[in-house]
């Protein structure tokens, strides 16, 4: 019942109003506003890392053994690690790594998933059937497991971890795009293009794709939190970033030898992951709430 | 002293992100005991909102009752708590039939389970007597082979059968006031007549009062004593159905009626609408009105008796013709 | 009904075949020299040549895949590079410990997450809903392995309420005879009536259980909430309210039965997450299960072991989803179509 009212409401003047509404609703909720600010802040930190970090050289291989495993102090805000490196500086550089790798991994997944989905939905028939069965197979692996296996066989490195995540993540986007494409295909302008004899490839990439991108972009931005978590998990297992990269998951992994006597070593990188992922998830939740007419608050 | 059922000065709004937008604004609507009142309006006029408001089932938090009273048998329903409404009114005294019989029946329970749950809840019947009562109810709505139908799932029944089941459930616990919200909207024309006849018979036999909601004047004419015309949440005309249909006073009613197919070769008076700008301060119908004058932009017409005391219209120009 | 089950089973078979194909690709096609991986990082050229012959790498891919399938069908997952023992055997040995953990956290997910989601939907936009959503979104934002470390730091190291890790205390392991009947420590001690061991085993389950359960609890709560909200906006719910049925009845019986499908999907998904979370947590708690096995294998690049765990987990997950699909078939709507 409510859905019908909101439909009528939306039809009044879609487009611009929709965008305004979304921003308004996201901005109205204090938590989501805070998350937007946190994400903006993290992006700034990632970009300005070399200038913000008190000891930029500590981020990678420089060592400082005389200050090893010091608790947080005014000199080392978050303490130091087993090689005497400033944890605060390393976590700041870690922001850069996490955001970058997450973006690249999601981007790669989009690069594989989107064209496949457009082709499946655009062409239909056995091509569609084949591509969808392939996504079925990929999605029937437990989450993370496929990424672990691929990363292990590609060889442990951050680049391979990104690739592994992309390979295990793309089917989600294929499914969304395919669903969208099927409904767009039925629309008049696509039929018109077919009628004047435009080739299918052109129709798919000129007409169908642009009209299906919006929901996928939304989904991809909501996925960033999960991807950051996955990268950290791979690094924790030793399949992602390798020392001396200051990746958060790797920091926690190395801290395991020392953390019982150096609580700060595991605690701070974990908080960094938590805050980042939480901010992305809250925004994702907000977007979903706003886009869904059932849960939408007027 | 208010009537058996009476709505006074009701204002219901829907919250949007910018404002609360009024969707229903009824100054007075009264129904006598045993009467059948027809409420007609196009989709979006606020008919379903009215039905849900009476039962206290407005979707929350979007729907807001801003002010007003709804009197039913001496009590103001809007002052009742949710639990009072649920335990004393809904199902027991007030009942509703919805538009789409497919979506009003729960797809994962059999017809029997759904009827018996309501009977058990309201009348405390169990076991054999409960099943017996369910069979009686299905027979009351003229469903052949009632015992068999109890065991079926909603999707195994036809549209007409489903709507009969819905009526049976709605009336299972002795409701005296029935809101029928376009009960034949999604049914084939041949089945519509049967359902309408059934509702009319039940009204006579069970002596219930019916608020019959429709989007079509001709449906109402058949068995409603009085009819109200709803336009954008407002009653624009009200009166005995034959009168309203023969001599519509409000231009909106006139267009509704002229749109009906007729036997007589009379030509429709208005063939279409010339859209004019909205009149936010004035008559809600102004933008579509074929006869509106400048005065209509400035003030809102009230529902007032024109010519005969029982026939009312909310139009400044109704009296002048 | 029978046709539906048959269709599902065939589809499940197709998916399993696909899973085998994908794992085959990962193990034999992606690496430039699969034999080198199979023989291990410090293998001599002779060992690599032997592995090449063993894997049949000189044969065409299609024949390789055939033998690969045949091996899988016989439960032959190869030999661990580290221990030189059959991977299948080692998996079987470490399975019970992991199942205990998975069961505990799935219980938590169902008995905490599900009611939380229902409450959240019932009191949508009220305080309860806000709190429960904040909790569940927090739960899915926490890195599982970090929860484990923090719990150890707080409850094992600082407060000393719970043990740091392991399945049993050292004293008990040294002084008592550990019953071995089914391989499940808690079950075995229960059967043999040894409550000292049972208590100690449960004691050791608490921290890893919480660690692994946090994510699934949040996940189930979130998904239950949205599934239920969708159902609660259906017309038949409004109709049920118009009959005067109580909210309690509507929510717990009328609506929950409609959400059988989404719920069983959620539970299957949450078991999948739980399984993977054991990979990240068991080493922290020195828990002798599959998670520790795979973590050790990853560090030593023990490829046959990694592959074995992957195949085994994927197959169990497919079976799990198949079961959840069959539960969905209890829904009369699905059965009819």
Q: Answer yes or no: is B154 within a domain.
A: no
Element (H, E) at A222: helix A209-237
pLDDT level of residue A1 (50, 70, 90 thresholds)? very low
Q: Do B170 and C247 touch (CB under 8 A)?
A: no
pLDDT digits 0-9 by tens, B89-134: 888 888 898 888 888 888 888 888 888 888 888 888 888 888 888 8
Q: C79 in a domain, yes or no?
A: no
If you count them, how many residues does chain C have? 337
pLDDT of the residue at A19: 59
Least confident of A34-43, B208-217, C185-194, C291-300: C185-194
Least confident of A263-272, B273-282, C131-140, C241-250: B273-282
* String of DSSP letters for C246-281: -HHHIIIIIIHHHTHHHHHHHHHHHHHHHHHHHHHH
Range of the domain at C10: 2-73
From the CA of B261, how many Å to the nearest CA of chain C?
33
Q: Which residues of B67-105 are buried (b: 16+ CB within 10 A; e: fewer)?
A: ebebbbeeeebbebeeeebbeebbbbbbbbbbbbbbbbb
Residue pair A27/A33 in contact (Cβ under 8 Å)? The answer is yes
Residue A298 has its nearest CB partner, among B14, B48, B52, at B14
The 10 Å Cβ neighbour count of residue C46 is 9
Give the C-alpha distances (Å, rounded to integers) separating C232 from C100, C195, C226. Answer: 36, 46, 10
Same domain, C125 and C38: no
Instruction: Tell me which of C15, C38, C73 is where a domain ends.
Output: C73
- Would you say residue B37 has pLDDT above 60? yes
Q: Is B124 domain-assigned? A: no
Under an 8 A CB cutoff, do B155 and C332 touch? yes
**DSSP H/E element including C313:** helix C303-328
Q: How far apart are CA B173 and CA B96, in angstroms?
A: 12
Structural domain range at position B299: 5-93+174-313
B270 touches C at CB < 8 Å: no
Q: Is pLDDT above 70 for B254?
A: yes
- The reply to whether A4 touches chain C by the CB within 8 Å rule is no
- The dihedral through the CA atoms of C40, C43, C48, C54 has a sign that is negative
ipTM for the whole predicted complex goes beyond 0.90: no
Q: Find the helix packing angle between A263-291 and A87-123, rounded to 10°.
A: 30
Q: What is the pLDDT of residue A297?
A: 45
Question: What does the alpha-carbon distance between residue B21 and residue B37 come to, in Å, rounded to a whole number?
Answer: 27
**Same domain, yes or no, for C45 and C146?**
no
Q: Of A95-104, A282-291, B16-25, which has the strongest mean pLDDT?
A: A95-104
Residues C68 and C160 in one domain: no
Architecture of domain A34-56+78-291: Orthogonal Bundle (1.10)
pLDDT confidence of A6, banded at 50, 70, 90? very low
The mean pLDDT of A190-203, rounded to a whole number, is: 77
Residue-level pLDDT at B264? 52
Instruction: Return the partners of chain B (3 or more C-beta pairs < 8 Å).
Output: A, C
Mutate to test the interface with B, among C126, C234, C237, C244 (most CBs of B within 10 A): C244
Interface test with A, best of B62, B96, B103, B232 (most A CBs within 10 A): B62
Is residue C270 located within the same domain as residue C164?
yes
Same domain for C58 and C149, yes or no, is no
User: Mean pLDDT of all residues in chain A?
Assistant: 83
Write out residues in chain C with pLDDT < 50, as ranges.
337
pLDDT reported for residue A10: 43
The reply to whether C166 and C269 lie within a common domain is yes
Q: In terms of DSSP H, where are the helices of chain B?
A: 47-55, 82-84, 101-104, 111-123, 127-140, 146-150, 159-170, 189-206, 217-223, 241-246, 251-258, 295-298
- In the complex, which subunits touch C with 3 or more CB pairs below 8 angstroms? A, B
**B166 interfacial to chain C (CB closer than 8 Å):** yes
pLDDT at B60 over 60: yes
Percent of chain A with pLDDT over 70: 88
Q: What is the pLDDT of residues A120-131, one digit of tens each?
A: 988 888 999 999
C58 touching chain B per CB within 8 A: no
Selecting from B17, B44, B59 the residue whose C-beta is nearest the C-beta of A2 gives B59
Q: Which of A147, A157, A156 is nearest to A109 (CA)?
A: A147
Choosing from C45, C73, C101, the residue where a domain stops is C73
Report the C-alpha gap between A231 and A250 in whole angstroms. 10
CB contact under 8 A, B17 and A25: yes
Q: Biggest alpha carbon distance in chain A?
A: 76
B164 in a structural domain: no
Measured distance CA(B24)–CA(C155) in Å, rounded = 60
pLDDT of residue A110: 94
Distance, in angstroms, between A191 CA and closest chain C CA? Answer: 31
Kindly tell me the burial class for residue C335, based on how many C-beta atoms sit within 10 Å of its own C-beta (0-12, 13-18, 19 or more): middle
Whole-prediction pTM: 0.82
A21 CB neighbours in chain B (<8 A) are 17
- Which residues in chain A are closer than 8 Å to C279, comparing Cβ atoms? 144, 148, 237
B154-206 residue pLDDT tens? 888 888 899 999 999 888 888 889 998 888 887 888 888 888 888 888 888 88
Domain tally, chain C = 2
**Are B14 and A25 in contact (CB < 8 Å)?**
no
How far is it, in rounded angstroms, from Cα A88 to Cα B291? 76
Contact criterion met (CB < 8 Å) for B62 and A25: no
Q: Is there a domain that residue C81 lies in?
A: no
Q: How confident is the model at residue A14 (pLDDT cuts 50, 70, 90)?
A: very low
Answer yes or no: do C112 and C194 share one domain.
yes
Structural domain spans, chain A: 34-56+78-291
Q: In chain B, how many domains are there?
A: 1
| B209 assigned to some structural domain | yes
Distance CA C266, CA B301 (A): 56
Q: Are residues C28 and C167 in the same domain?
A: no
B122/C246 CB distance under 8 A: no
Touching check for C129 and chain B: CB below 8 Å? no
Nearest CA in chain A to B57: A1
Sign of CA dihedral B261, B262, B268, B269: negative
- Rounded to a whole number of angstroms, the distance from the CA of B134 to the nearest CA of chain C is 15
Claim to verify: residue C27 and residue C113 sit in the same structural domain: no
- Residue B57 clears pLDDT 90, i.e. is over it: no
Q: How far is CA B12 from the centre of its chain?
A: 16
| Within-domain flag for C84 | no
**Residue C311 belongs to some domain of the structure:** yes
Only one residue has tokens 């009114």, namely B89
Nearest CA in chain A to B15: A298
Contacts of C240 in chain B (CB under 8 A): 106
Q: Which of C236, C246, C333 sits opposite B104 (nearest CB)?
A: C236
Chain B contacts of C333, Cβ < 8 Å?
107-108, 153, 155
Tokens of A89: 């500086």
- Return the structure tokens found at C114: 């599900």
Measured CA to CA, the distance from residue C216 to residue B191 in angstroms comes to 50
Query: Taking CB atoms and an 8 Å limit, are C26 and A150 in contact across chains?
Result: yes
- pLDDT of res. A131: 93
Cα dihedral sign, C173-C175-C180-C184: negative
Nearest one of C200, C30, C188 to C99, comparing CA atoms: C188
């Amino acid at each position: 019942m409510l859905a019908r009212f909101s439909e009528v409401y939306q039809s009044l003047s879609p487009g611009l109003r929709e965008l305004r509404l979304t921003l308004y609703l996201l901005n109205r909720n204090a938590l989501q506003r805070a998350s937007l600010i946190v994400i903006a802040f993290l992006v700034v930190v990632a970009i300005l890392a070399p200038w913000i970090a008190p000891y930029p050289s500590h981020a990678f291989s420089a060592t400082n053994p005389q200050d090893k495993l010091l608790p947080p102090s005014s000199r080392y805000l978050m303490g130091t690690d087993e090689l005497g490196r400033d944890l605060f500086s390393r976590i700041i550089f870690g922001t850069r790594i996490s955001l970058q790798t997450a973006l690249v991994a999601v981007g790669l997944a989009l690069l594989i998933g989107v064209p496949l989905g457009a082709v499946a939905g655009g062409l239909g028939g056995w091509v569609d059937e084949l591509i969808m069965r392939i996504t079925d197979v990929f999605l029937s692996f437990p989450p993370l497991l496929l990424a672990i296996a691929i990363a292990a066989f590609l060889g442990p490195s951050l680049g391979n971890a990104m690739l592994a995540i992309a390979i295990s993540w793309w089917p989600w986007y294929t499914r969304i795009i395919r669903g969208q494409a099927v409904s767009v295909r039925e629309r008049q302008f696509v039929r018109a293009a077919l009628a004047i004899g435009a080739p299918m490839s052109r129709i798919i990439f000129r007409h169908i794709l642009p009209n299906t991108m919006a929901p996928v972009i939304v989904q991809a931005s909501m996925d960033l939190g999960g991807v950051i978590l996955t990268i950290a998990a791979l690094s924790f297992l030793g399949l992602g970033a390798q020392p001396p990269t200051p990746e958060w998951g790797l920091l926690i992994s190395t801290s395991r030898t020392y953390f019982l006597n150096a609580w700060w070593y595991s605690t701070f990188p974990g908080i960094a992951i938590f805050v980042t992922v939480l901010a992305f998830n809250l925004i994702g939740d907000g977007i979903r709430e706003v886009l869904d007419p059932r849960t939408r608050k007027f | 002293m208010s009537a058996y059922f009476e709505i006074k000065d009701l204002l219901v709004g829907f919250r949007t992100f910018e404002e609360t937008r009024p969707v229903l604004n009824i100054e007075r609507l009264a129904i006598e005991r045993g009467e059948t009142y027809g409420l007609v309006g196009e989709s979006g006029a606020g008919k379903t909102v009215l039905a849900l408001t009476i039962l206290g089932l407005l979707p929350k938090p979007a729907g807001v009752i801003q002010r007003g009273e709804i009197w039913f048998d001496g009590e103001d329903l809007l002052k009742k708590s949710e639990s009072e409404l649920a335990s004393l009114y809904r199902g027991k005294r007030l009942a509703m039939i919805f538009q789409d019989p497919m979506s009003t029946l729960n797809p994962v329970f059999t017809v029997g389970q759904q009827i018996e749950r309501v009977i058990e809840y309201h009348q405390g019947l169990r076991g054999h007597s409960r099943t017996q009562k369910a069979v009686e109810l299905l027979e009351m709505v003229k469903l052949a082979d009632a015992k068999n139908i109890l065991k079926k799932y909603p999707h195994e029944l036809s549209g007409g059968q489903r709507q009969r089941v819905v009526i049976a459930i709605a009336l299972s616990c002795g409701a005296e006031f029935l809101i029928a919200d376009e009960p034949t909207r999604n049914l084939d024309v041949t089945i519509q007549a049967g359902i309408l006849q059934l509702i009319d018979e039940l009204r006579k036999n069970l002596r219930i009062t019916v608020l019959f909601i429709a989007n079509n004047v001709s449906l109402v004419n058949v068995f409603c004593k009085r009819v109200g015309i709803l336009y954008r949440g407002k009653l624009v005309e009200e009166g005995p159905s034959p009168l309203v249909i023969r001599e519509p006073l409000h231009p909106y009613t006139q267009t509704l009626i002229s749109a009906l197919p007729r036997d007589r070769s009379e030509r429709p008076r208005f063939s279409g609408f010339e859209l004019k700008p909205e009149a936010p301060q004035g008559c809600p119908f102004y933008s579509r009105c074929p006869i509106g004058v400048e005065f209509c932009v400035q003030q809102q017409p009230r529902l007032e008796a024109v010519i005969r005391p029982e026939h009312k219209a909310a139009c400044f120009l109704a009296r002048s013709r | 009904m029978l046709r539906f089950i048959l269709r599902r089973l065939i589809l499940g078979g197709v998916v399993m075949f696909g899973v085998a194909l994908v794992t085959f690709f990962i193990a034999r096609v992606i690496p430039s020299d699969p034999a080198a991986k199979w023989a291990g990082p410090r293998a001599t050229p002779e060992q690599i040549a032997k592995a090449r012959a063993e894997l049949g790498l000189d044969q065409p891919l299609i024949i390789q895949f055939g033998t690969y399938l045949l091996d899988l069908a016989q439960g032959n997952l190869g030999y661990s590079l580290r221990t030189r023992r059959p991977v299948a055997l080692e998996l079987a040995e470490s399975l019970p410990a992991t199942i205990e953990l998975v069961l505990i956290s799935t219980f938590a997910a169902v008995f905490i997450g599900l009611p939380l989601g229902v409450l959240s939907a019932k009191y949508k936009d009220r305080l309860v809903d806000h709190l429960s959503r904040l909790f569940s979104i927090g739960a899915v934002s926490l890195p599982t392995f970090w929860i484990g470390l923090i719990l150890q730091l707080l409850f094992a190291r600082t407060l000393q309420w719970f043990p740091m890790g392991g399945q049993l205390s050292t004293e008990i392991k040294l002084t008592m005879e550990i019953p071995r009947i089914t391989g499940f420590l808690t079950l075995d001690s229960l059967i043999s009536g040894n409550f000292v061991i049972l208590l100690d085993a449960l004691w050791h389950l608490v921290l890893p259980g919480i660690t692994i359960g946090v994510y699934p609890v949040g996940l189930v709560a979130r998904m239950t909430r949205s599934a239920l909200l969708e159902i609660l906006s259906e017309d038949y719910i409004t109709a049920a309210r118009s009959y005067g049925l109580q909210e309690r009845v509507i929510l717990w019986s009328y609506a929950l039965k409609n959400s059988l499908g989404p719920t069983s999907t959620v539970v299957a998904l949450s078991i999948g997450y739980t399984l993977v979370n054991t990979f990240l947590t068991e080493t922290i708690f020195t828990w002798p299960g599959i998670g520790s096995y795979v973590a050790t294998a990853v560090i030593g690049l023990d490829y046959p072991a990694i592959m074995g765990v992957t195949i085994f987990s994927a197959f169990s997950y497919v079976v799990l989803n198949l079961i959840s699909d069959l539960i969905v078939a209890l829904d009369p709507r699905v059965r009819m179509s």
